[in-house]
């Protein structure tokens, strides 16, 4: 990118940036107290001004290192400012929000991924964060009687989301082509029809990502969603595969809607699966997408069958077969992260790591559902004493065999796409073996530190924080260690074991 001003050194420019941001925050705090501005208003003003400053870092800095240091510094500053309740003009909201911490995290990720690869994507995504998120918040708060919806945790309004979409669309339309023209990589000019098209697609995915948030996490998710959409759509256009990408975009939307209508996913789960499907297919194609589809489809059907079989029988599980957005990403989030790393590094062995994560989720789910078909009670994985059906940490012969079958299914699908990467036996050991080991880690954690509660009405043990209409009482484990965190650890273990086995066997 061309430089607005050549400083004596990179770190001199760093100090100027740091001083400019601190000056903006300090000025807003003074103005808030002197002019009696509402803290919420000054927070939005800081959000926009700092967002614009950071977005234009490539026009001042020559390398990403000072920018990453700047971002990390503000992650720390914003976190402690939030915890100590200082700089109200920067982070004050009517609800608990870590948005000011997620903001610099998003900046660091954008710098790491796109500073050299395609700075136009980084700049446009950060401007969407600065402007679209702010305008949506203003409209949503002013129309207090408007209809709300919740995809995850935070309530959103339809007018606010529409405003976000329109603003994001305008940001891409007005800036992306210009930023590309300034890039030293000399991207060929884009026709207006494509700019309009990419603006619509980017605005749509970032709007969904912003809608599914918890305590300010949208500052991170919408930025990543916008950047990946710009990247994948632009690359598909240059490669001549735009129609294929858009065909999957529409197909992914149909899959998410169908899963929602069949009660396989909640509305938030459908949105999460839709976004994950777009990026997974766009980055990795069918080799990455098919194992994920097989996992979600077969696991959901098994859960439905097991739920029907035990419709009148008490089950300890906190959640049923109707998966929400947290469950979708607890099972597929690690795999998505591995896919992103694979996309930017091109390391073929990461495909086996991806399958290890998916195989772990599959083995864990199939162990539970196959185990529910057993006529005998499962056994505690550590003490081997009988435990209730669905107890986290319980194992059975049908469940164990089902877990092995699930892990082998994922490994076999992956081998069909990469038969030459390593011998079949080694491949299955790395992918299916690591997945099965991840499910064992899941069972051990479920038996030891996963939160378990007791109902104050019927006295039954459960993973649910409410039972018989009343709050339950914690009787074991760590309260925060719920089934979703256990699933994340399970999939991360599957990916970790795959990395270890690759290092040992290849």
- Angle formed at CA 48 by CA 46 and CA 50, multiple of 5 degrees: 60
Q: Residue 256 has what pLDDT?
A: 85
The residue to which tokens 């207090």 are assigned = 144
10 Å Cβ neighbour count for 147? 9
Q: How far is CA 184 from the centre of its chain?
A: 31
Question: How far apart are the C-alpha atoms of 27 and 305, rounded to whole Å?
Answer: 61
Question: How far apart are the C-alpha atoms of 484 and 477, rounded to whole Å?
Answer: 14
- Angle formed at CA 106 by CA 177 and CA 66, multiple of 5 degrees: 85
Alpha-carbon separation of residue 261 from 205, 249, 305, 322 (angstroms): 21, 19, 17, 11
Q: Which residue(s) pair with 478 in the sheet? A: 450
In residues, how long is the chain?
506
Alpha-carbon separation of residue 18 from 2, 11, 80, 87, 220 (angstroms): 21, 10, 17, 16, 21
Q: Residue 478 has what pLDDT?
A: 82
Alpha-carbon separation of residue 254 from 125, 212, 272, 332, 335 (angstroms): 26, 19, 13, 19, 22
User: Which ranges of 186-266 does DSSP label H, i.e. alpha helix?
Assistant: 192-211, 218-239, 242-261
Question: How far apart are the C-alpha atoms of 148 and 327, rounded to whole Å?
Answer: 22
Q: How far is CA 483 from the centre of its chain?
A: 17
In degrees to the nearest 10, what's the CA dihedral of 265, 267, 273, 276? Answer: -160
Report the chain's terminal Cα–Cα distance, integer Å: 41
Chunked mean pLDDT (size 10), the chain, 506 residues: 66 79 71 60 66 78 84 80 60 59 87 88 90 79 68 81 92 89 72 92 92 82 92 90 88 86 84 88 89 84 67 49 79 91 91 94 87 77 77 81 92 90 91 93 87 78 73 80 87 94 88
Phi-psi domain of 113 (left: phi exceeds 0; alpha: psi -120 through 50; beta: other) = alpha
Q: For residue 101, which phi and psi values (nearest 5 degrees)?
A: -85, -40
Q: For residue 143, which phi and psi values (nearest 5 degrees)?
A: -90, 75
Q: Residue 415 has what pLDDT?
A: 92
Q: How far is CA 93 from the centre of its chain?
A: 24
Give the DSSP letter string of 422-487.
S-HHHHHIIIIIHHHHHHHHHHHHHHHTB-EEE-TTT--EES-SEETTEE-EEEESBTT--HHHHH
**Is 194 buried (19+), middle (13-18) or exposed (0-12) by CB count in 10 A?**
middle
**Is 214 buried (19+), middle (13-18) or exposed (0-12) by CB count in 10 A?**
middle
CB burial of 52-67 (b: ≥16 within 10 Å; e: otherwise) equals: ebbbbbbebbeebebb
Q: How far is CA 438 from the centre of its chain?
A: 20
Over the stretch 16-61, which tens digit does the pLDDT of each residue have? 777 877 777 776 666 666 655 555 555 666 667 777 777 777 887 7
- Per DSSP, the three-state class of 112 is helix
């Amino acid at each position: 990118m061309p430089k607005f001003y050549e400083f004596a050194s990179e770190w001199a420019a760093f100090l100027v940036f740091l001083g400019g941001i601190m000056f903006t925050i300090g000025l807003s705090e003074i103005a808030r107290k002197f002019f009696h501005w509402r803290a919420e208003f000054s927070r939005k003003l800081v959000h926009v001004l700092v967002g614009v400053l950071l977005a234009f870092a490539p026009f001042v800095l020559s390398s990403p290192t000072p920018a990453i240091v700047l971002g990390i510094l503000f992650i720390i500053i914003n976190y402690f400012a939030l915890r100590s309740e200082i700089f109200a003009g920067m982070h004050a909201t009517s609800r608990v929000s870590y948005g000011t911490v997620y903001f610099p995290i998003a900046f660091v990720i954008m710098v790491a991924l796109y500073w050299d690869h395609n700075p136009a994507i980084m700049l446009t995504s950060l401007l969407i964060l600065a402007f679209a998120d702010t305008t949506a918040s203003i409209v949503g708060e002013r129309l207090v009687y408007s209809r709300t919806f919740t995809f995850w945790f935070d309530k959103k309004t339809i007018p606010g989301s529409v405003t976000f979409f329109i603003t994001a669309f305008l940001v891409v339309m007005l800036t992306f082509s210009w930023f590309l023209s300034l890039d030293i990589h000399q991207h060929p000019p884009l026709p207006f029809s494509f700019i309009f098209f990419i603006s619509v697609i980017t605005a749509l995915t970032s709007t969904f990502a912003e809608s599914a948030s918890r305590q300010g996490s949208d500052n991170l998710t919408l930025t990543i969603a916008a950047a990946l959409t710009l990247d994948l759509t632009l690359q598909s256009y240059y490669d001549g595969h735009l129609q294929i990408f858009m065909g999957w975009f529409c197909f992914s939307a149909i899959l998410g809607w169908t899963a929602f209508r069949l009660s396989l996913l909640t509305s938030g789960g459908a949105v999460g699966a839709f976004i994950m499907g777009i990026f997974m297919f766009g980055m990795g194609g069918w080799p990455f997408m098919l194992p994920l589809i097989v996992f979600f489809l077969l696991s959901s059907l098994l859960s439905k069958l097991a739920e029907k079989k035990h419709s009148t029988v008490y089950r300890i599980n906190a959640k049923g077969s109707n998966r929400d957005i947290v469950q979708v990403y607890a099972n597929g989030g690690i795999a998505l992260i591995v896919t992103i790393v694979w996309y930017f590094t091109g390391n073929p062995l990461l495909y086996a790591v991806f399958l290890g994560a998916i195989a772990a989720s599959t083995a864990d789910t199939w162990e539970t559902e196959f185990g529910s078909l057993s006529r005998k009670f499962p056994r505690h994985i550590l003490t081997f004493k009988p435990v209730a059906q669905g107890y986290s940490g319980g194992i059975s012969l049908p469940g164990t065999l089902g877990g092995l079958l699930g892990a082998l299914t994922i490994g076999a699908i992956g081998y069909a796409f990469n038969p030459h990467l390593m011998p079949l036996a080694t491949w299955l050991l790395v992918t299916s073996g690591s997945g099965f080991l991840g499910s064992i880690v899941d069972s051990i954690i479920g038996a030891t530190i996963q939160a378990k509660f007791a109902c104050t009405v019927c006295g039954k043990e459960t993973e649910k924080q409410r039972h018989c209409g009343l709050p339950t009482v914690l009787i074991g484990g760590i309260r925060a260690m719920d089934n979703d965190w256990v699933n994340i650890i399970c999939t991360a273990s599957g990916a970790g074991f795959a990395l270890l086995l690759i290092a040992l066997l290849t």
